[in-house]
């Protein structure tokens, strides 16, 4: 009678390969610390005062999250930082230089990238053309799309010829971030990047922000309403109420009751 041989146990399935992100060249990694300082800034819309003695800072390799209820001045502060809205008091200092009345394109040229609320992509331009609008503030030698943009958001590479207006809301947000990254910023300013976005793309955006912080040593300043997203990503947080910063400190303090009361309706 022939012997029966027991079947060898099946080998465990290999885990899925990790996504490999192509890092930028070493020369593109900024080695710095304190890049932005907003110092006692006031801002008015006519007779209405939107910001009152607001002070906040951003550091390279750190994520700062600005929180607060609707209408407390968060977006106004970002618009002031990037030069869209003039301030009426105080100063905004970039790498030791007071920006004064410097216009938005000049601030972008210095290294301040902006992703506005609502994305504001060009709906009739293709994805490629939307990305290429970022060339306006770059040196001629830098007029290409960095490889890491497509590593972070591969859907953009597969849709280069598609019109921006035909993309989903989440894809448009990835496009808006990619366009800002084409400018090679040292500070990325994002206004509610998760607003109206499906959970899977929120994770992609969070992963991208962490990559920018850890691999490019980029400073990130973002306005966010999604508290869990802010708690997971931020190193420091600032909370605004009625045009003022009422709390500033480490993200871990978001669990404190006296901090959270500033965020309840």
Residue 8: inside a domain, yes or no? no
Residue 7: inside a domain, yes or no? no
State the residue range of the domain holding 103: 31-260
Determine how many CB atoms are found less than 10 A away from the CB of residue 51: 26
Residue 142: inside a domain, yes or no? yes
This prediction's pTM = 0.86
Q: How many domains does the chain have?
A: 1
CATH of the domain at 163: 3.40.50.300
Residue 24: inside a domain, yes or no? no
Residue 71: inside a domain, yes or no? yes
| Nearest Cα residue to 249 out of 74, 79, 66 | 66
Residue 10: inside a domain, yes or no? no
Q: Give mean pLDDT in consecutive 10-residue pieces for the chain, a chain of 265 residues.
A: 45 44 45 83 97 97 95 96 97 96 95 94 96 91 92 96 95 96 97 92 95 96 91 94 94 83 75
């Amino acid at each position: 009678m022939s012997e029966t041989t027991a079947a060898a146990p099946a080998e465990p399935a290999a885990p899925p390969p990790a996504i490999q992100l192509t890092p930028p060249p070493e020369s593109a990694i900024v080695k710095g610390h304190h890049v932005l300082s907003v110092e006692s800034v006031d801002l008015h819309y006519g007779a209405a005062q939107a910001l009152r003695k607001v002070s906040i800072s951003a550091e390279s390799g750190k994520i700062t999250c600005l929180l607060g209820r609707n209408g407390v001045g968060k977006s106004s502060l970002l618009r002031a930082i990037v030069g869209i809205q003039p301030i009426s008091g105080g100063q905004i200092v970039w790498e030791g230089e007071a920006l004064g009345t410097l216009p938005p394109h000049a601030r972008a040229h210095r290294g301040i990238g902006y992703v506005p609320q609502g994305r504001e992509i060009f709906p009739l331009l293709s994805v490629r053309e939307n990305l290429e609008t970022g060339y306006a503030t770059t040196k001629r030698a830098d007029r290409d799309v960095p490889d890491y943009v497509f590593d972070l958001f591969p859907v953009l590479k597969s849709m280069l010829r598609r019109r921006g207006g035909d993309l989903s809301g989440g894809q448009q947000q990835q496009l808006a971030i990619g366009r800002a990254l084409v400018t090679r910023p040292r500070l990325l300013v994002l206004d509610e990047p998760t607003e109206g976005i499906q959970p899977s793309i929120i994770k992609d955006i969070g992963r991208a922000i962490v990559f920018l912080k850890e691999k490019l040593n980029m400073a990130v300043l973002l306005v966010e309403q999604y508290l869990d997203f802010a708690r997971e990503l931020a190193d420091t947080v600032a909370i605004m109420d009625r045009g003022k910063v009422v709390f500033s400190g480490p993200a871990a303090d978001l669990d404190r009751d006296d901090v959270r009361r500033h965020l309840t309706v």
